[in-house]
Amino acid sequence: MNSRKKISKSKIGGKRLKDIWAQVPPDYYDRGNLLQKLWHTKKLSQVIKLLPKQKKNKTINILDIGCSSAVLTNEVSKALPKSRITGLDSYEEAIIFARAKYPHLKFVVADAHNLPFKDKTFDLIICTETLEHVINPKKALEEMKRVLKKDGRGIISMDSGSPLFHIIWYIWTKTKGKVWQNAHLHEFNSKLLEGLINGSGFKIQKKINSHLGMAVTFLVTTAIK
């Protein structure tokens, strides 16, 4: 993968990787940071627009990969009240926090590179602002494709890697967002991300740019062979 920044697990070590993930407090998204809230409220609106319509008497199985403390997971469950939703994250403390706050939802501590589910389990997979934090984004995407049903859909969203985003991100990690320093193991731009998605067996159905061009959201389905 041609990203401008690559950090392998062997280079930083498993313990160091966990330390990087654990920099962000489990309740970070519940602390009322205004700028962070504005960013994620807009991101949530993009995800909600791409959700499938709830059909009568049909349960939608949903997996939210990289759910953290499950703020978005819970909002999706409100939008699709008859869904069966599972939040997944490798950061155990965040999952413990999410389980306590949202006892009506299911949560799993697991690695995005090795999802603990059978093939073709989910109707919908959501992955927002996560691929830049995993060791092997392509492997994570391939796992998403494996557990997605043939007629299912995926929603993948993250920053676009635009020049404006890099400026804002640099300032953010030096000031209010210091907990995010070194948290991005990979840097993408929109074109690289699109190529990675296509190369992992997905077909892009829709692409939405938002946040003044600083974020991009894709609606994907499994590619027809």
In a domain, 202, yes or no: yes
Question: Residues 25-54: pLDDT tens digits?
Answer: 888 888 767 777 888 888 899 999 999 988
In a domain, 171, yes or no: no
Q: How many structural domains comprise the chain?
A: 1
pTM (2 decimals)?
Answer: 0.89
pLDDT at 225 over 70: no
70 contact partners, CB below 8 Å, separation of at least 6: 64, 87, 98, 101, 102, 105, 107
pLDDT at 77 over 80: yes
Question: Residues 96-120: pLDDT tens digits?
Answer: 999 999 999 999 999 999 999 999 9
Adjacent-strand bridge partners of 100: none
**How confident is the prediction for the chain on average, in pLDDT?**
87
Spell out a b/e string for 156-194, using b for 16 or more CB atoms within 10 Å of the CB, else e.
bbbbbbbeebeebbeebbeeebeebeeebbbbbbbebbb
pLDDT at 215 over 80: yes
In a domain, 169, yes or no: no
